[in-house]
Structure 1
Amino acid sequence: MSGSSIWKPLREELARWREAGRVARFWWRDDDAIEPTAALDRLLGLAIAHETPLTVAVIPAKTGPALSQRLSGARGVSVAVHGWSHENYAPLQEKKQELGGHRPAEAVLGELYDGLLTLQRLHPARCIPMLVPPWNRIDGSLVPKLPALGFECISTFGRATAEGPMPLLNTHIDIMGRRADGKGPRVGRPHDEVVSELVRELQDRFEGRNEPIGLLTHHLAHDETAWTFAEAFLKETDGHQAISWKPAAELLKDQMSTT
């Protein structure tokens, strides 16, 4: 499938939005930032070139002033708390989880509080009170206790539920996937597959679901397939009348005002 034909379904869906005078809200979250790298430079370059707001989920226990200095001149970039150390405490037979019920709640919550304070200190103008659980998983019993620590929002993956003790600002489109044999590191997904998901999410919003569409990337893990998709997608949406890329802080403010 040629590059132009891959994007045709998205262009047609966006044309429907434009003709209806409607605008779809998008936001962008990238996970696992720790320090300045060539991959981070490439990520920031894309965001800045296309003037697209970006939220970087930073691992507090593994980061430091170097990342703060690197982000100091990056326009439109915010920082969220990506757990504490991104360590897995679940047994082998369970899915990976740092914020599960495998340790005392006091220990987990203490680390999250330290994580928020750490990023507020390192990124005072960029840190937003958003918790991004590693592997997009958190034990439900911890969630009601997060506001007392200073968190105002959680961001995981998938459709946000209407009920819950805290607002959710989720991601929905992951440009990375598993290999066909299920072995080795994750790889960039076929572009036509991701475009089909984008169209389905847009159709869902057109029918009335009031939830921003979240793009999820992992700059440290990207192969060229993933990087190429990210750049092409930003080009497709850059300046499009039917799409508005929103900063996470603005979306969070909107959510807080309606809850």
Structure 2
Amino acid sequence: MSDIVLKALEDRAARGRPARLWWRDDDATEPTPELDLLLECAARHAVPITLAVIPQTTGMPLARRLDTSPLSNVAVHGWAHANHAPSSEKKQELGMHRAEAVVIRELEEGCRKLAELHGPRMVPVLVPPWNRITPTLLPKLAEAGFRAVSVFGPAKSGPLPQINTHVDLIDWRGTRGGRSIDVLMADLAAALAAEGDSPIGILSHHLVHDDAAWSFLDHLFDMTRNHPGCIWTGLPDLLQS
């Protein structure tokens, strides 16, 4: 199935419109062996990595670890990654299940805390837990310090730009391990065909990766890193573009 991705990349190269690919990994809070594997993978392939960090439970240990990883940057993964929706609804932290002022205050605190911990490595982009946020909160995000939002799926117009992800490595409804390489390649090929000039994001969750997930990342980066049909870029550059 790699052939369908290579064909899509060759089409991009022939048109002189290389795809902008980027990589987001969710749920970081502290140094772990799995985080070491993630950062080693980024360094091995020279690919920038955005860590969506949960502010409430993180601190200096993660900041010190990332000081040794120049390809890493940090986005704001909600506040506590805590579900406030009832069992009858999908999990959501950034919904209308609490007072809007409380939600915005937490996001402001998360943005401030990560900026203090990570300095210029912190990018003012909100990654909503579970990729869900109530639309009525979106107009309030700029005053809370955010310049963009990153969820999953095609980007939509709104008060802030969306820099989204499109290929999720994990089979959340099944094995909760890495999805098959054929399915992932099909998703990536579809994104390359459908997203036009919008950035295309790869979404990983290092804490739950199995061998299949790690293997896919190595295969993907080997296949794409020097291909003229794409360029790997970091979230800070995407935010400026």
Q: When the two structures are superposed, what TM-score results if normalisation uses the length of structure 2?
A: 0.97
- The Cα of 1:131 is off from its aligned counterpart by 0.4
1:174 is matched with 168
1:187 is matched with 177
- The Cα of 1:22 is off from its aligned counterpart by 2.7
- The Cα of 1:12 is off from its aligned counterpart by 2.2
Cα pair 2:21 2:230 within 8 Å, conserved: yes
Rounded Cα–Cα distance in structure 2 between residues aligned with 1:64 and 1:178 = 28
- The Cα of 1:203 is off from its aligned counterpart by 1.5
Out of 109, 118, 142, the residue aligned to residue 114 of structure 1 is 109
Cα pair 1:171 1:214 within 8 Å, conserved: yes
Deviations 1:188-238 (A, max 9, x none): 101001101111111124xxx231100000000111111111111111111
Question: Which runs of structure 2 are paired with 1:121-200 in the superposition (5 Å)?
Answer: 121-161=116-156, 163-178=157-172, 180=174, 186-200=176-190
Rounded Cα–Cα distance in structure 2 between residues aligned with 1:14 and 1:130 = 28
Cα pair 1:179 1:187 within 8 Å, conserved: no
Moved over 4 A (4+): none
- The Cα of 1:167 is off from its aligned counterpart by 0.7
- The Cα of 1:18 is off from its aligned counterpart by 2.3
Out of 182, 205, 210, the residue aligned to residue 218 of structure 1 is 205
Cα pair 2:17 2:197 within 8 Å, conserved: no
Rounded Cα–Cα distance in structure 1 between residues aligned with 2:40 and 2:97 = 39
2:48 is matched with 53
- The Cα of 1:179 is off from its aligned counterpart by 5.1
Aligned residues: 241
1:68 is matched with 63
2:29 is matched with 34
Rounded Cα–Cα distance in structure 1 between residues aligned with 2:178 and 2:41 = 17
Larger gyration radius, structure 1 or structure 2: 1
Q: Does 1:238 align with 2:222?
A: no
**For 2:135, what is the secondary structure of its paired residue?**
coil
Rounded Cα–Cα distance in structure 1 between residues aligned with 2:4 and 2:160 = 35
Q: Does 1:101 align with 2:105?
A: no
Deviations 1:143-198 (A, max 9, x none): 1011011110000000011x211111010100111354xxxx61110100110111
Q: Does 1:203 align with 2:193?
A: yes
**For 1:214, what is the secondary structure of its paired residue?**
strand
2:85 is matched with 90
Rounded Cα–Cα distance in structure 1 between residues aligned with 2:146 and 2:16 = 35
**For 2:227, what is the secondary structure of its paired residue?**
coil
- The Cα of 1:13 is off from its aligned counterpart by 2.1
Q: When the two structures are superposed, what TM-score results if normalisation uses the length of structure 1?
A: 0.90
1:229 is matched with 216
Q: Which runs of 5+ in 2 are unaligned?
A: none
The residue type paired with residue 194 of structure 1 is L
Rounded Cα–Cα distance in structure 2 between residues aligned with 1:12 and 1:160 = 24
Cα pair 2:225 2:231 within 8 Å, conserved: no
The residue type paired with residue 170 of structure 1 is N
Q: 1:93 to 1:26 in 2, by over 3 A?
A: same
- The Cα of 1:90 is off from its aligned counterpart by 0.4
Q: Percent identity?
A: 45
